[in-house]
Amino acid sequence: NEGSLWGARFSGGPSPELARLSRSTHFDWQLASYDLAGSRAHAKALAAAGYLDADELPRMLDALAALGAAVESGEIIAEESDEDVHGALERHLIAIAGPELGGKLRAGRSRNDQIATLIRLYLLDHGRAISHLLVQLVDAIAAQADAHPAAVMPGRTHLQHAQPVLLAHHLLAHAWPLVRDLERLRDWSVRASASPYGSGALAGSSLRLDPALVASELGLAGPSENSIDATASRDVVAEFAFILSMVGVNLSRFAEEIILWNTREFDFVTLDDGYSTGSSIMPQKKNPDIAELARGKAGRLIGNLSGLLATLKGLPLAYNRDLQEDKEPVFDSVVTLEVLLPAFTGMVATLRFNTERMAELAPQGFSLATDVAEWLVKQRVPFREAHEISGALVAFCERHGMELHEPSDEEYAAIDARLTGGVRAVLSVEGAISSRDGVGGTAPVRVAEQLAQLTERIRAL
Ligand code: ARG
């Protein structure tokens, strides 16, 4: 059982079946650079506590640097016999530095506190990368809103025409959830910046190594408060997986609208050729595959989160090997978004809006009926009656195939004496939109204001 981290009390090596089940190098090898960063920090803590002397520390750091370069170049890889990235790297370190020096590094640490730290380092790095990609998407949405300050569209509830809104207002409604996701990542990173290194297997170390030194070497805020919690908990991983799922769900809702808008029936958008696909049999097809993949991958992101939570739910404290199952789902969520976001951003940035078609549909479906009711309220009609009068007007127009502004003054009066020709003044899409000028409303001044706020919030991240 040579080369194993734990062979001495065993009579032989693990059975091949166990070794195959146990092995994690095919996915945890991507933590190699973080493992080496942990080792460098740990070596410094060992030296500070007197366990490596003045010439041993530089030799250790040189060996770790050589190991890092060999991992980087692909010269060193994990072997069949390596259980995990920690063991594989230690084996190579001993080969480079010799058993005497190489064998000193493991003092005062356990794979349990190592892995709990490394996953945080990995997630913090990828959290930054994903934040960067999200900012680019928010910028692309904001640029589309900025490019269409006056375009109008039918606003919908229940997918039915409800009230007309500005296209820019609707687009920004897809940007704000992503801004909150960015803020979630920022808030999460505070919790993720605790360093489990020094917690040992679960109970801490007796060697008086300085965990604050290790934390600061790793760019983390400080040591974890409780060594049992630090090695046993993965809520930081689950929270990250949640945020990535939330991003996926937010993209999916936008994607669903783009898919609808791209249909012949809606005809609101044209997708750029570079961001849509054709059919192998139907030459006329131009398919919104990026949006559909976004919608599909949201399911995958949710699955990764659910799987991880299910893994955690019954675990007693402290470390259990089940915790090794935290990595693949969250690695998958990271890769999924790192590939999806740039494509999604490209699709959004190159969308062309058929603003004429949107403007034509904006007043249809009696979407100005609320404006009739609110006009009556301004004439001091109680809202309950105003709602009934405008409802009666809608019914009348529906029967006669008219729009709300089309009945004659006599026909208005027959519905209710308080309904006069004066109401036609508010029966325009532009009038309806600019009258909704409360905070967060669809009036152009308000939308311009929220676009500025959005930019501000992104800058403050
Ligand atoms: N590979 C493990 C993980 O990913 C860390 C090793 C801890 N193993 C152990 N037997 N204590 O969680």
CATH number assigned to the domain comprising residue 338: 1.20.200.10
Using CB atoms within 10 Å of the CB of residue 3, give its burial: 0 to 12 exposed, 13 to 18 middle, 19+ buried: middle
User: Does residue 447 lie in a domain region?
Assistant: no
Please give the pLDDT value at position 2: 52
In the reported structure, the alpha carbon of residue 201 is separated from the centroid of ligand 1 by a whole-number distance in angstroms of 10
Catalytic residues: 158, 279
Q: Which residue out of 109, 111, 117, 228 has the highest number of ligand 1 atoms within 8 Å of its CB and is therefore the one to mutate?
A: 111
- Whether 111 is in the pocket of ligand 1, judged by its Cβ within 6 Å, is yes
User: Does residue 138 lie in a domain region?
Assistant: yes
Q: From residue 29, how far is each of 26, 61, 122, 420 by CA, in Å?
A: 6, 20, 12, 76
Q: How far apart are CA 25 and CA 83, in angstroms?
A: 7
Which ipTM did the prediction report?
0.95
Please give the pLDDT value at position 327: 98
- Whether 319 is in the pocket of ligand 1, judged by its Cβ within 6 Å, is yes
Verify that 284 and 192 share a domain, yes or no. yes
Tell which of 85, 107, 129 closes a domain: 107
The pTM of the full predicted model, rounded to 2 decimals, is 0.94
Residue ranges of the chain with pLDDT lower than 70?
1-3
**Of residues 142, 177, 170, 141, the one with CA closest to residue 156:** 170
Please give the pLDDT value at position 215: 98
Please give the pLDDT value at position 157: 96
Please give the pLDDT value at position 5: 77
User: Does residue 439 lie in a domain region?
Assistant: no
- Any idea which residue has 């992503």 for tokens? 178
Q: Are 410 and 392 in contact (CB under 8 A)?
A: no
pLDDT, tens digit (0-9, with 9 covering 90-100), for 355-385: 999 999 999 889 999 999 999 999 999 999 9
Torsion of CA 213, 216, 221, 222, to 10 degrees: -10
Verify that 351 and 396 share a domain, yes or no. no
Verify that 296 and 381 share a domain, yes or no. no
Q: How far apart are CA 341 and CA 152, in angstroms?
A: 27
Closest residue by CA, ligand 1 atom 12: 324
Verify that 101 and 120 share a domain, yes or no. no
pLDDT, tens digit (0-9, with 9 covering 90-100), for 232-274: 999 999 999 999 999 999 999 999 999 999 999 999 999 999 9
Please give the pLDDT value at position 3: 57
Verify that 284 and 406 share a domain, yes or no. no
- Whether 435 is in the pocket of ligand 1, judged by its Cβ within 6 Å, is no
CATH number assigned to the domain comprising residue 408: 1.10.40.30
Containing domain of residue 33, as a range? 16-107
